[in-house]
Amino acid sequence: MSAALNTQRRAKACRSIRCPADAPRFLLCSQTGTAISTVYHQFIAFKCLFPRSHELPSRPFISSSSPVPTSITFSTILSLNCNQSSASSTMAPSVPAPPVMEEFYSGIPSNLLDRAHAAKERLMSQKTAPDTVVRDEELPVLPPYTTRDKFNSAMAALSRILGASNVEINDKPLKDGWYIEHPNTHDAYHLLPATDSVSSAACYPGSTEEVSAVVKWANQYEIPIFPISIGRNLGYGGAAPRVRGSVVVDLGRRMNKVLKLDGENYSCLVEPGVTYYKLYDEVKKSGLPMWIDPPDLGGGSVIGNTVDRGVGYTLYGDHFANHCGMEVVLPTGEVIRTGMGGLPGPDNTDSPTWQSFQYGFGPYYDGIFTQSNFGIVTKLGMWLMPETEHQTFMVTFPRDDDFGDIVEVIRPLMVKKILGNVPQLRNVIQELAVTGKPRSAFWKGTGRMPREVIREHASKMPCGDCAWVFYGTVYGTKEQIADTLKICKVEFGKIQGAKFIFPEDVPPDHYLHSRVSVCSGVPEIRELDWLNWKPNAGHLFFAPISPTKKEDARTIYEIVLKIHQKYGFDMFPTYCINTREMHYIANLVYDRNDEDEKQRAMACMREMIDECAKVGYGEYRTHILLADQVAQTYSWNNQALMKFHEVLKDTLDPKGILAPGRSGIWPAKYRNQGWELLADDDRQTSSPADVKKITEKLSDSKL
């Protein structure tokens, strides 16, 4: 059945099926993604979806005796008999479908629903861990340097500012959920116990003014806040605050509009809750001939990804480089606009040049609001790429040792802009992983999968018996594409045995087709499939920057390989090549239900960070719990850079309320008291015991 038909059928089902009578009260508990998956367990065959956010029933957060609203609209979906994509198994799904975007702002687009549902089904079929983690401590977890009484009165004040329905206490068991139904209470891909990196509460401001009011509130009560846009920074900490008990400011729930689409300027202006799926949808609806630039997975926030300096795969793949203009709430609550946005248009309108010129006049600040805790970005301008003809292809290379030579071929092609997007180079093992089959389907052994096993399976797949796979795309007119491909064939052909494979050469469920989409501006869900490698999988990204040069790339490769071998992990390197450098992404997949494996994953990350730093290489981005260690590797001139960060932090955020510890930047209030989590340190400063140790020194004098 087509997606449209499916949606129609679901709409019909929505009208005809009523949820059980106790559903409204249940929904009152929580309105987050977490709650969505909690609901699943109540109604195994149905899925209850929420009405739009402004219609959400109010949640009593202090008194539980508020009246239960009587007019909640439910739509339901029959989760049985749902359609399967071609890639999925033939079994009927036993898990409910994820919410679609029309029904929930961070949902899946309806055209991807069947595939997302199948992907969820495949992942959940491997799950052996319990669905919820029950917590054995007084809840909610308090932020540091406060008392329960003070916290309660602060939360009462916050409820008065935002309305009680927009404040939600994190006092339920934790649910990791799934990609679409992700939690905003903790890190779904926890490295430490799930209960460590948790918030005390989440709040949902509905405008820049309300964000500013929340920031002023945080200053008044000295409560640490942790803003998220969507909260899908999975592999880097998800929605989890660095400081235990922070209040998560979930911007996306009520601020998720595409504010402008400009078909002449080829630009847009978005709010934090706009995902790549949503921006794509709006551009399509507008009929304008523009592309967005999605990362591998489309569920992330455009703002969130850009301010974490994420990457996509069209000609506009460097997201920060293609942003134009920000609106930022500073840690004191002041609101600024950067670039041309500083110059107001007539009659209180936005500057007509805000999305046209990045720099404005005077110092250019936008960079300090990325990977930082210096401000909350509430609006962001992005440039959009004009639609064009395109051709995606893969090139396979036969020998493990070809790696260096491949890099040497790629660099000049990119510097000369023959290749203009962000192409990927992957190891052959990833061809196995992106089939979505578990590792156990290929090999039953323990330890790292042997090269011969990979070879045996690859030789039966479209990639054949190869070692490396390059995914490239060329753009332009048909003639330009043909010319560029000719050059690529000559250049890659210099490596003996290089083989070009085009989309028409592979079956419809091959990963190459999802590269065609991503590299032509169509957001995808396919990349999740390598998460099936292990049961209960979480993933971590080790993401050093390498020059696009043979020797550097090899040095890093050898370090990463040696340490993966030492800790017993299969190695999934994806090189995202951005001209003169490569984002060297090693995806570490681990079983969240296996304590030993989690500890090895952490140790493996720590050692890779250290060993790379020793020879001069550093990460472009990292998991929130590894940020202190990574920040310390940027130590040139006796940590001069960190000292500069700290000067800015203390000036902009004197009370230290905004995301303390983000990117390793601690405000004065927290600095040098033991919060920093360094490599040679076995403490876990997000654990209850360590937080207690740190704070009790000060608690007598401060409280």
List, by residue number, the catalytic residues: 236, 620-621
Of 526 and 598, which has the nearer Cβ to ligand EUG?
526
Give counts: helices (H), strands (E), the chain. 19, 23
Of 39 and 545, which has the nearer Cβ to ligand EUG?
545
Say if CB 273 and CB 253 are below 8 A apart: yes
Region binding ligand EUG by CB under 6 A among candidate stretches 121-129, 178-186, 583-591, 629-637: 583-591
Q: What residue has token string 């290489």? A: 617
Question: Does 543 interact with ligand EUG (rule: CB under 6 A)?
Answer: yes
Of 28 and 605, which has the nearer Cβ to ligand EUG?
605
Nearest to 380 by CA among 472, 331, 310: 310
Q: Which of 372, 574, 622, 633 binds ligand EUG (CB under 6 A)?
A: 574
| Closest CB 426 distance from ligand EUG, rounded Å | 8
CB atoms closer than 10 angstroms to residue 446 = 6
Instruction: Give the CA distances from residue 326 to residues 48, 266, 363, 633, in Å, rounded to whole numbers and listed in that order.
Output: 36, 17, 14, 29
Nearest to 248 by CA among 26, 23, 30, 525: 30
Task: Note the helical H segments in 300-384.
Answer: 302-307
Question: Does 541 interact with ligand EUG (rule: CB under 6 A)?
Answer: yes
Cα separation of the two ends of the chain: 62
CB atoms closer than 10 angstroms to residue 680 = 7
| Closest CB 297 distance from ligand EUG, rounded Å | 8
| Closest CB 309 distance from ligand EUG, rounded Å | 9
Write the CB contacts of 441 (distance below 8 Å, at least 6 apart in sequence). none
Of 38 and 514, which has the nearer Cβ to ligand EUG?
514
Structure tokens at 407: 């890099």
Would you give the binding string for ligand EUG spanning residues 586-615, x where CB under 6 A is met?
-x----------------------------
Q: What residue has token string 């992700």? A: 182
Structure tokens at 675: 């919060």
Instruction: Give the CA distances from residue 129 to residues 136, 174, 194, 261, 592, in Å, rounded to whole numbers and listed in that order.
Output: 18, 13, 12, 44, 8
Question: Does 583 interact with ligand EUG (rule: CB under 6 A)?
Answer: yes
How many residues can be counted in the chain?
703
Of 168 and 527, which has the nearer Cβ to ligand EUG?
527
Number of residues interacting with ligand EUG: please give it, by CB under 6 A: 11
| Closest CB 89 distance from ligand EUG, rounded Å | 23
Say if CB 281 and CB 177 are below 8 A apart: no
Of 164 and 512, which has the nearer Cβ to ligand EUG?
512
φ, ψ for residue 79, nearest 5 deg: -85, -25
Region binding ligand EUG by CB under 6 A among candidate stretches 97-105, 580-588, 651-659, 665-673: 580-588
Structure tokens at 88: 């999925």
Q: Which of 119, 428, 429, 576 binds ligand EUG (CB under 6 A)?
A: 576
Say if CB 184 and CB 239 are below 8 A apart: yes
- Tell which positions 257-296 bind ligand EUG, by CB under 6 A: 296
| Closest CB 630 distance from ligand EUG, rounded Å | 13
Of 585 and 605, which has the nearer Cβ to ligand EUG?
585
Strands (E), 170-219: 174-175, 201-203
DSSP 300: S
Question: Does 311 interact with ligand EUG (rule: CB under 6 A)?
Answer: yes
Of 620 and 670, which has the nearer Cβ to ligand EUG?
620
Say if CB 166 and CB 204 are below 8 A apart: yes
Crossing angle of helices 550-567/403-415, nearest 10°? Answer: 130
| Closest CB 583 distance from ligand EUG, rounded Å | 4
Q: Which of 121, 181, 431, 527 binds ligand EUG (CB under 6 A)?
A: 527
Strands 267-270 and 258-262: antiparallel
Of 232 and 669, which has the nearer Cβ to ligand EUG?
232
Would you give the binding string for ligand EUG spanning residues 635-654, x where CB under 6 A is met?
--------------------
Region binding ligand EUG by CB under 6 A among candidate stretches 151-159, 263-271, 272-280, 579-587: 579-587
Q: Which of 158, 315, 585, 604 binds ligand EUG (CB under 6 A)?
A: 585
DSSP 68: P
Region binding ligand EUG by CB under 6 A among candidate stretches 145-153, 332-340, 582-590, 635-643: 582-590
| Closest CB 609 distance from ligand EUG, rounded Å | 15
Q: Which of 621, 623, 645, 655 binds ligand EUG (CB under 6 A)?
A: 621
| Closest CB 346 distance from ligand EUG, rounded Å | 41
Which positions touch ligand EUG (CB under 6 A)? 296, 311, 527, 541, 543, 574, 576, 583, 585, 587, 621
